[in-house]
Amino acid sequence: MSDDIFFMKKVFELAKLGEGFTSPNPMVGAVIVKEGRVVGIGYHKKKGDKHAEIRAIEDAVGHLEGSTLYINLEPCVHQGSTPPCAPVVAQVGIKRVVISNIDPNPLVKGKGVEYLRSKGIEVLTGVLEEEGYFLNRFFFHYMKTGFPYVIGKMALSMDGFIADNRGNSKWITGEDSRKYVHRLRGNVDAIMVGKGTIEKDNPSLLPRFIYSPRLPAKVVVARKPFNNFDYQIFDSEGIVYIVTVKNSKWRVPPNLRAKIELVEVDGLEDGTIDLREALIALGKKGIQSILCEGGSFLMGELLKLGLVQELVIFYSNLILGSGLKPFSGFSLAIDKGIKDFKLYERLSFQNDTMVRFLKND
């Protein structure tokens, strides 16, 4: 393993310390090395706080001359909620900068690298680029497309059902798997479900079992209004976006108007909601990432429209024989089936197995 790869892996470890805290900013870590020894480290803790390279520079005072800066994202050159970082890097004696990913933000996008090189600093980019992309995949996708990054999550029996024939789904998977899901909830900007899931399961859609620095927004896709608002999502903290059709007959009770916001989009000829328009609208509200937890029709519609970037599927040791399938609303011949995803990783949890699929580029 080369030194550049070794130290970039350390950078990723630092960046992950900001997981769940930094959105809408990316996770960034930085390591400063001199003569083979780490002399400074830092990571971005939250929006508005110092950037990773600035923290690392402050940590390495007295050891910066002739050093190498390792960082997973290109230093910025624009004034945002904090001052630009590239000019600081160029002024303190750092002679070499090693970067994993170019920042896709149009305000940066190669300008940081160009600036550093103009100051005589050697710059190497693309070190562990794929790993760096995965770390900040929400940010990269949102910056490039304006759409939130959508993760479809489902828990299945060994024979592929999300519930038994009576619709019961608690608990298909074990406690360790459920804890991992709550960690996922704490790392995204919003959690999405269909109206049927709210009416049947009455979930809170909150990250539990773990410390979460912020509450994700809750998104409910519902063409028709609820008969009442006696559900956990309206009692718990955090905003609720209700995605519905234009000119809908929703009447939000006065006591809930501060926490419920209608996102009205076009209805389609087949009676469904324009989910593409809905995601664009949510993206404009600053939502970069969504964890979709069902139901099967909503998940099927998102997949059919090509709006899912990642699938996280938990298989348990339970066998049901028959039950509810994870996707509905479409049926395809084997030669026409959706083949947009590639296997990224497998994880084991007690008697469960999680498989993660990423959408092909």
Residue ranges for the known binding site for substrate are 185, 205, 208, 293
Q: Hey, which residues does 353 pair with through a beta bridge?
A: 315, 348
Sheet containing 29-34, strands listed edge to edge, beginning at the edge strand earlier in sequence: 37-43, 29-34, 68-73, 96-101, 122-124
8 A C-beta contact, residue 79 and residue 51: no
Give the annotated binding-site residues.
51, 76, 85, 155, 169, 171, 185, 197, 201, 205, 208, 293
8 A C-beta contact, residue 355 and residue 343: yes
Give the annotated binding-site residues for NADP(+).
155, 169, 171, 197, 201
Say how far apart CA 296 and CA 329 lie, in whole Å. Answer: 8
Choose, from 19, 53, 74, 237, the residue flagged as catalytic: 53
Say how far apart CA 150 and CA 291 lie, in whole Å. Answer: 6
Contacts of 68 (CB under 8 A, 6+ apart): 7, 32, 33, 34, 94, 95, 96, 97, 98
User: Running DSSP on this structure, what letter comes out for residue 266?
Assistant: P
Annotation says 261 is catalytic: no
User: What one-letter code names the amino acid at 105?
Assistant: N
φ/ψ (deg, to 5) at 325: -80, 155
8 A C-beta contact, residue 69 and residue 56: yes
Say how far apart CA 278 and CA 161 lie, in whole Å. Answer: 28
Residue-by-residue DSSP string for 73-133 = EPPP-S-SSS--SHHHHHHTT--EEEEEE---STTTTTHHHHHHHHTT-EEE--TTHHHHH
Alpha helices (H) along the chain: 3-15, 52-59, 86-91, 111-118, 129-135, 137-145, 175-187, 195-201, 232-235, 275-284, 296-304
**Residue in this structure with the two tokens 């997973």, named with its chain if needed:** 72
Active site (catalytic) residues: 53
